[in-house]
Every structure is written in C-alpha cells, then in structure tokens.
Amino acid sequence: MPPLSPFPHQDPPSRPRFPLALKIVVFVVAAHLLVILVLSVRGSLDRRVKPETAPATEEPAPEPVAQEEPPFRLRPFPASFPRRSCMPDVRESEACGSISNSLFSPGRDLVFVDDPRVWWESEFDGETDDECDHTMHRSIEAPFRRLVELVCASNATLRVQECYRATGIHSGASLHKEGRALDLTCPDLDPSVPKTSPTNPDQVLPTALSLEILAKLCWAAGFDWVYYEVPRNSGAHLHVSMRRDAPALRPYVDDAPKEVKFLPAE
C-alpha cells in the first residue's frame, strides 16, 4: 500500500498561470521594441554608407533690371487742322477720361512748370485773379515741354492762357479742374514790334503762328486730345488735354528738319 499522505484531503500545489490578456500585452510591447531596434540599426548603417550633405541653400533671385523707356517719337504732322475740329475725332472724355475727386490729389498730381520762353497770362492778370498758369497736372508736363521746343524752333512764342483752375469759369466736368487741360495761343505779343531786328536785318524776331499750325504742333508733341476751339464769347484758341496715367517726362527724338519738327509716319 502507498504511504498515507499527511494531507489526505488536499491536491498537490500547481504552477501559477498568467491571464491571456497579460500575454497579449507583453507580446505587443516586445514587438514594438523589436521594430524600434531594427529601425535604429538601419539608420545607423545608412549614415555610415551615405555621408551627410549640407542642406541646399536657395540662391537669391537676381534683381530686376530697370528698363529705360524709349524716347518719345513726335507724331506725324497732320495735313490740315480746320477750325472747330479735334484730334482724335472723339469726345474729350473718351480720349482723356473724366475728372475724378477720388483719383485726383492736388498735392500729389500738380507740378509747377516755368519756362522764360513762354508767355504766361496769369503773370499779367493783376491781383484780382488768383489763378496760376504755371500749375499743371504732372501728366501734361511732358507734351507741354515738347511743344515749347517746337514753337521756339519756329521762332515764335507760346502763350498759355489757362491751365489749372479749381473753381471759376469752367464747367464742373472740365479737365482744367485737375490741371489736365491747357488753353493755348501763339499771337503777336506786340504788333508794333518789327519782325526783324533794327540792328541786324537778317535776324528774324519772334512772330505769330496761326492756330492751325499750332494745332499741328500740339498733336505732334503728343497731347492726347487737341481741339481747335472757337467759342462764341471769347477768342479762338487751342484746348489740349491729357489722360491722368500718361507717361512721365522723357526725352524725345528730334531728328526732323528744323522748319518742320516732326517725324514722318513709320
């Protein structure tokens, strides 16, 4: 007979058992550690094979080169310019645009222009008139200065009768209110002055230009709109105007004959 157990009613002790969930957690953690170890070893091998290179630096973009605007080429001389006609044959608002209180700034857009070769009417108006014909929109300065050269080359004197006038005689939509319009003539300033110099008969003194010739010169000089105006209540004159975004003052080609300073059509 087998020997009697001192504990007849108890089973022998068994090994401890781990829950299934704990086994799964341990397996997942071990798998993650294995993946991290493999990636770190692979990265170390890659660094040994491929030497590190400095990051590429972007080269600064070259500065844009400012291109000079080509010189203004004087327009062809019109064959004729009759009274009460205009060039181009459209309304002034179509050629030059209308006035705009929101786009016009006197402090920014107006410039003071002076040339001793020009006869400025405002300098002879007296104290009762506060206009200044030297004040004009910056867009009209370039064609005006070209016109002065053309008129002086014709041995004449340009007369500025009206330029910028914020209030007064002009209509509410007049471009004179922005200084983008000029009223011009070229008469004999003193009819009693002889046409030749008393001391030098070969020297021709400044003389008048007909308004038709002056209108042709205005068009050649580059004004956007030229009108041979013949009002009922005042004398005939030329009304010239410019759009506000016209190019700034720049040189112009002057290779035409002196007696007719314009370029032929290309």
Angle between helices 211-221 and 138-153 (to 10 degrees): 130
Backbone angles phi, psi at 143, to 5 degrees: -65, -30
Q: Looking at residues 230-241, what average pLDDT do you find?
A: 90
Contacts of 114 (CB under 8 A, 6+ apart): 134
The residue ranking higher by pLDDT, 75 or 265, is: 75
Q: Which two tokens mark 99?
A: 């006035």
Determine the pLDDT at residue 110.
92
**The two three-digit tokens of residue 251, written as one number:** 């040189």
Residues 166 and 106: their CA atoms lie apart, in Å, by: 10
Provide DSSP, 13-66. P------HHHHHHHHHHHHHHHHHHHHHHHHHHHHHHS---PPPPPPPPPPPPP
Alpha helix segments (H runs only) across the chain: 20-49, 92-96, 106-109, 138-153, 211-221
Find the length of the chain: 266
Average pLDDT over residues 194-208: 57
What pLDDT sits at residue 94? 95
Provide the mean pLDDT of the chain. 77
SS3 at position 167:
coil
Please tell me the least confidently modeled range out of 85-99, 102-116, 148-162, 195-209: 195-209
Distances (CA, A) of 134 to 115, 123, 129, 189, 248: 9, 9, 14, 19, 17
Residue 132 has pLDDT above 90, yes or no: no
Look at 62 and 73; give whichever has higher pLDDT: 73
pLDDT over 90 (residue 240): yes
Q: What is the largest CA-CA distance in the chain?
A: 171
What class does CATH assign to 78-190+203-252? alpha beta
CA atoms within a 13 Å half-sphere pointing along the CA-CB vector of 109: 21
User: Averaged over 150-169, what is the pLDDT?
Assistant: 87
Report whether 187 contacts 156 (CB < 8 A). Answer: no
Residue 230: the pLDDT is: 92
Q: Which pLDDT tens digit goes with each residue over 3-33? A: 555 555 555 555 556 566 677 777 777 777 7
Instruction: Kindly list the domain boundaries of the chain, sorted by start residue.
Output: 78-190+203-252
Q: Are 122 and 132 in contact (CB under 8 A)?
A: yes
pLDDT at 180 over 90: yes
Burial, 3: exposed, middle or buried (Cβ in 10 Å; 0-12, 13-18, 19+)? exposed
Q: Which is more confidently placed, 55 or 100?
A: 100
The answer on pLDDT for 193 being more than 60 is no
